[in-house]
């Protein structure tokens, strides 16, 4: 897959690309990423990328023509068709399903916004407009990195088996089960009372009984999802065993809630 990131702050995205899963995918030739400075596609002496909004108002707007020239250059180099993603607060929410869709595209372009946004005519060459969530950022560079990270790990060979197994629970629509590693006991001091407590790893994980461990993990993943993200359960793919467990957990949770509320 080829990815081109167009930004007025190339340094903001270049460094993070070298680290972790994405960096390794690039080193191994599974991913070909180029960061392009929008200013390189201006034609004036001062390399101006922004201008005042027509109709007045505060702030600046990114000019359309540097984007058009950047897209022409990318298409000449990479070929057509391009999947052109505009990062913007007005976009559809970026989800795992969107990441899966984009990971099947051979040529991706990520356009990063700044200031008050883009001249609306840029959208003429955009195939997808995406937001990463309902909070205000100062530009599209971090969203572009978020999108690339989520997409890259879905490219075959980028992430080893072990992580794809761990990811199963999320793509199935559940939160992860709790994880533990050595040592089997740790002493912690409570943040609030300063009292010392010895925290043990759940017995079942030390038992070596793998069937029992699998069931425990299923149940914990379901319990956490029910507690923290019940909205996910509507879209989750559950087997019969899990549906049964969920019923039990719901009954239990009902009891706990009535207790907490001090109901009679």
Closest approach, Cβ 87 to ligand 9D3, in A, equals 4
Closest approach, Cβ 229 to ligand 9D3, in A, equals 20
Sequence-distant contacts of 227-235: CB under 8 A, at least 24 apart:
227/253, 228/175, 229/175, 232/173, 232/174, 232/175, 233/173, 235/173
Closest approach, Cβ 178 to ligand 9D3, in A, equals 30
Secondary element (H or E) of residue 129: strand 128-131
Q: Directed axis angle between helix 20-27 and helix 141-152, to 10°?
A: 70
Place of tokens 């409570």: 190
Closest approach, Cβ 66 to ligand 9D3, in A, equals 16
In the bound state with ligand 9D3, the residue whose beta carbon lies nearer, of 83 and 87, is: 87
Q: Which are the contacts of 193, defined by CB distance < 8 A and separation ≥ 6?
A: none
Residues in contact with ligand 9D3 by CB under 6 A are: 87-89, 113, 116-117, 131-133, 135-140, 143
Closest approach, Cβ 57 to ligand 9D3, in A, equals 10
In the bound state with ligand 9D3, the residue whose beta carbon lies nearer, of 139 and 178, is: 139
- Report d(CA 242, CA 239) in Å as an integer: 5
SS3 state at 33: strand
In the bound state with ligand 9D3, the residue whose beta carbon lies nearer, of 88 and 169, is: 88
In the bound state with ligand 9D3, the residue whose beta carbon lies nearer, of 141 and 221, is: 141
Which parts of the chain fold into alpha helices (H)? 10-14, 20-27, 64-78, 96-103, 141-152, 161-171, 203-206, 210-228, 230-233, 240-260
In the bound state with ligand 9D3, the residue whose beta carbon lies nearer, of 25 and 132, is: 132
What is the CB neighbour count within 10 angstroms for residue 226? 19
Closest approach, Cβ 62 to ligand 9D3, in A, equals 10
Dihedral (C-alpha) 202, 205, 210, 213: value to the nearest 10 degrees?
Answer: 30
Closest approach, Cβ 68 to ligand 9D3, in A, equals 19
In the bound state with ligand 9D3, the residue whose beta carbon lies nearer, of 99 and 223, is: 99
In the bound state with ligand 9D3, the residue whose beta carbon lies nearer, of 121 and 243, is: 121
SS3 state at 24: helix
């Amino acid at each position: 897959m080829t990815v081109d990131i167009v930004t007025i702050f190339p340094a903001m995205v270049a460094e993070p690309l070298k680290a972790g899963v994405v960096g390794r995918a690039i080193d191994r030739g599974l991913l070909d990423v180029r960061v392009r400075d929008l200013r390189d596609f201006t034609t004036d002496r001062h390399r101006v990328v922004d201008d005042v909004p027509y109709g007045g108002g505060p702030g600046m707007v990114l000019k359309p023509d540097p984007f058009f020239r950047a897209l022409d250059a990318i298409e000449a180099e990479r070929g057509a068709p391009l999947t052109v993603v505009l990062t913007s607060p007005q976009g559809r929410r970026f989800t795992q399903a969107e990441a899966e869709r984009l990971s099947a595209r051979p040529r991706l372009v990520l356009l990063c916004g700044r200031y008050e946004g883009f001249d609306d005519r840029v959208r003429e060459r955009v195939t997808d407009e995406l937001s990463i969530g309902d909070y205000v950022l100062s530009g599209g560079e971090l969203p572009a990195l978020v999108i690339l990270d989520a997409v890259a790990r879905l490219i075959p060979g980028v992430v080893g088996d072990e992580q794809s197994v761990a990811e199963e629970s999320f793509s199935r629509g559940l939160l992860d089960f709790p994880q533990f590693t050595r040592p089997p006991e740790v002493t912690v001091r409570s943040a609030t009372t300063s009292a010392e407590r010895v925290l043990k790893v759940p017995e079942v994980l030390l038992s070596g009984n793998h069937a029992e461990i699998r069931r425990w993990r299923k149940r914990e993943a379901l319990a956490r999802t029910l507690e923290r993200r019940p909205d996910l359960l509507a879209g989750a793919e559950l087997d019969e065993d899990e549906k049964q467990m969920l019923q039990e957990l719901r009954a239990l949770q009902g009891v706990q809630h009535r207790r907490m509320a001090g109901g009679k």
